[in-house]
């Protein structure tokens, strides 16, 4: 059984939040989510000490649990409100999923690694996080049947922006995606109309690649 959440962990989370504030994260609801979620439970228990450092960490299946700053940065860019429908590409460990749940989003998430998908699907409800829908599949295609989405967040590097993701955004919706090979440029697309998108770039980040048709 995984270790529990202790006062020591809570203290470390508080320190992590202070680091994120120091790095420029301002959204109080995002900071509150990071302060609440027991990130150490999303990692192998032998790595407890690393859980609240601002670093990415391997979680198996050649995947990583993103750096807390990256999770906070992407979550802040989404500008979601309670009740918003959000699509997450790359469920991974479920940590970003949990952040979106804490923010009150209706979360739809896709994972292409079967072992991770199965593990996370069982694990999230144990912590009390209940995404609307978790699916195993190709993130490049999005999830057409539940579209449109207020926000779409991609948690892996994409060499290009998948067209279906832009198509599945509602007007006024935001797509946050790291674009490029290595490093990626964090990119925000805001849908202005059926055909118009506004694009903003936010500097370099490093992600594991988003792979296509790898199921």
- Residues designated catalytic: 66
What does the DSSP 8-state code read for residue 137?
Answer: S
As a whole number of angstroms, the distance between CA 50 and CA 76 comes to 23
| Residue with tokens 């680091």, as numbered in its chain | 19
Q: Which two tokens stand for residue 196?
A: 């118009």
Rounded alpha-carbon distances, angstroms, from residue 147 to 15, 45, 51, 124, 168:
38, 37, 34, 23, 5
Residue from 83, 116, 113 nearest 100 by CA: 83
């Amino acid at each position: 059984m995984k270790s529990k959440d202790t006062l020591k962990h809570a203290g470390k989370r508080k320190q992590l939040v202070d680091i994120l504030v120091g790095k420029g994260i301002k959204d109080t609801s995002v900071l509150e989510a990071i302060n609440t979620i027991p990130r150490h439970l999303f990692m192998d228990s032998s790595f407890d000490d690393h859980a609240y450092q601002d670093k990415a960490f391997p979680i198996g299946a050649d995947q990583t649990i993103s750096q807390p700053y990256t999770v906070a940065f992407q979550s802040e860019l989404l500008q979601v409100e309670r009740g918003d429908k959000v699509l997450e590409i790359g469920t991974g460990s479920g940590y970003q999923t949990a952040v979106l749940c804490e923010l009150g989003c209706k979360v739809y998430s896709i994972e292409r690694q079967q072992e991770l998908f199965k593990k996370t699907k069982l694990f999230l409800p144990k912590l009390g996080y209940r995404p609307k829908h978790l699916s195993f599949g190709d993130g490049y295609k999005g999830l057409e049947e539940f579209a449109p989405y207020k926000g779409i967040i991609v948690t892996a590097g994409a060499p290009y922006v998948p067209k279906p993701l832009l198509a599945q955004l509602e007007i006024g919706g935001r797509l946050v995606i790291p674009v490029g090979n290595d490093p990626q440029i964090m990119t925000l697309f805001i849908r202005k109309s059926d055909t118009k998108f506004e694009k903003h770039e936010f500097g370099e980040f490093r992600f594991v690649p988003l792979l296509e048709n790898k199921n």
